[in-house]
Amino acid sequence: GCLITGRLYCTPRAMWKLIWFLRDFGYDSELLRKDEIDDQALAGLQGVLKVSHTIVHGISVLNLDGFAPLSRWKELSPIAADDPPGSEVA
């Protein structure tokens, strides 16, 4: 896989997406039940990301367009049969 650094909003309006992301990427379910985010528990999470690039005011921005559990890699990737998970998976 590859390391992707980014941010997910955790405003009250966006909290559902953060929780969904954490669950799909294998975050500790007990911590989720307690509504706790542990920085150390975030390291090593894995899943499938769909990203795109946009230029905003001359700055390249990485957009998170979608995500899914790693177990869905073969289903979601059009090239998965020919190319096992590698740099496309974070």
Instruction: Say how far apart CA 53 and CA 39 lie, in whole Å.
Output: 26
Structural domain span for residue 35: 1-90
Q: Which of the pair, 41 or 90, is modelled with greater confidence?
A: 41
Kindly state the DSSP code that residue 65 receives in the 8-state scheme.
E
Burial bucket for residue 75 (CB in 10 Å: 0-12, 13-18, 19+): exposed
Return the structure tokens found at 33: 């039940």
The neighbouring-strand residues paired with 83 are none
What three-state secondary structure class fits 16? helix
Count up the domains in the chain and report the number: 1
Report the chain's mean pLDDT, rounded to a whole number: 84
Residues 28-60: tens digit of each pLDDT: 999 999 999 999 999 889 999 888 989 999 999
